[in-house]
Amino acid sequence: MAIERTFSILKPDATRRNLSGAINAMIEAAGLRIVAQKRVLMTRPQAETFYAVHKDRPFFAELVATMTAGPVVVQVLEGEDAIRRYREVLGATDPAKADPGTVRKKFALSISENSAHGSDSPETAAIEIEQFFSGNEIVG
């Protein structure tokens, strides 16, 4: 299995409750390496672009409001099968359906405030990483 990179966001509900370190520990325990990381306030246009695929969904306005409600930590994670592996670490989108031991089961407050994001394919990972990091900010 190839070494991949995936894009992660520790969402405002996580930073607000000081959970960045706890989630990073779960990321590292899963064998993923944090090769880039910064704390930023997402602007509304950034959030709208990032989640543009959902722009016609009924929850879009709530999603953009949630993502801009406070600081986020954007990250690039590297490792074997990183995209699938990180989504396993996160668990299902809805915390009520997430497996025990996952980030969302442990920490998510709701389907909207679900603590972290992970890319869902190599194509989206590349696009998402490029939205927040330049090449020399990623050090593997």
List active site positions.
Answer: 117
Contact flag: residue 109 with ligand ATP (CB under 6 A): no
CB of 108 to ligand ATP, least distance (A): 9
CB of 11 to ligand ATP, least distance (A): 7
Tokens of 3: 């070494």
Q: Which listed residue (3, 39, 44, 59) binds ligand ATP by CB under 6 A?
A: 59
Asked if 117 and 66 count as a contact pair (C-beta separation under 8 A), the reply is no
Q: What is d(CA 35, CA 138) in angstroms, rounded to the nearest whole number?
A: 6
Closest CA relative to residue 98, chosen from 17, 19, 89: 89
Sign of CA dihedral 120, 115, 30, 5: positive
CB of 111 to ligand ATP, least distance (A): 5
Q: What residues line the site for ligand ATP (CB under 6 A)?
A: 54, 59, 62-63, 93, 111-112, 114, 117-118, 120
